[in-house]
Amino acid sequence: MTSVKRETPVPCNGCTECCRSGQGLFLHPDRGDDIDSYRHRMMADPATGQAIWLLAVDENNACVYLGDSGCTIYARRPLLCRSFDCRKHYLMLPKQDRDNLVALGLSSRAVFNAGRSRLKTLSREERDECRSIQKEFFFYS
Ligand code: SF4
Ligand code: SF4
């Protein structure tokens, strides 16, 4: 019998690092995000030249939808905000890649630290799965 891995929700507990730490807040129109319903900016992907879309940010690099009490569009937040798990983000990437992403401004040390501090809230199956993904895709780790 195949066991179903438990998806444990991220215990953010008031943390809003994802929304204000300057990591890329990508929109995914191909996976259901209605781009025109969000304030956004478009860029050319430096690698491919193809268009990519990101949520707009304010002068402090925080998402324009972040309010004093958290997300002001919580019920309709885009896919990335609904699915991102900082714990898995931390576990699946080798240190070298985490450092590179931070250096490139594509991720944030604060988000990685938030993930690391919450690792024990993942189920054992989820942690094992993340580690096996790292081994499979990052052979040098
Ligand atoms: S960094 Fe982690 S804990 Fe903080 S808001 Fe993002 S998902 Fe939640
Ligand atoms: S849409 Fe909401 S959850 Fe997503 S980054 Fe902005 S404030 Fe955070």
- Greater confidence, 22 or 5? 22
The reply to whether 110 falls in a domain is yes
**Residues in Cβ contact with 62 at an 8 Å cutoff, skipping those fewer than 6 apart:** 19, 20
Average pLDDT on 27-50 reads 92
Contact 16, 126 (CB under 8 A): no
pLDDT band at residue 1 using 50, 70 and 90 as cut-offs: very low
Q: Is 134 in the pocket of ligand 1 (CB under 6 A)?
A: no
Q: Is 86 in the pocket of ligand 1 (CB under 6 A)?
A: yes
Domain that holds residue 29: 16-82
pLDDT, tens digit (0-9, with 9 covering 90-100), for 40-63: 999 888 778 899 999 999 999 899
pLDDT, tens digit (0-9, with 9 covering 90-100), for 77-109: 999 999 999 999 999 999 999 998 888 877 899
Contact 91, 8 (CB under 8 A): no
The reply to whether 4 falls in a domain is no
The reply to whether 33 falls in a domain is yes
Whether residue 70 is found in the same domain as residue 111: no
Q: Is 63 in the pocket of ligand 1 (CB under 6 A)?
A: no
* Atom nearest to 65 CA in ligand 2: 7
Whether residue 78 is found in the same domain as residue 92: no
* Atom nearest to 67 CA in ligand 2: 7
The reply to whether 3 falls in a domain is no
Return the exposure string of 39-62: e unless at least 16 CB atoms fall within 10 Å of the residue's CB, then b: ebeeeeeeeeeeeebbbebeeeee
Domains: count for the chain: 2
Q: Is 55 in the pocket of ligand 2 (CB under 6 A)?
A: yes
Which of 82, 99, 115 represents a domain boundary (last residue)?
82
The reply to whether 118 falls in a domain is yes
Whether residue 20 is found in the same domain as residue 78: yes
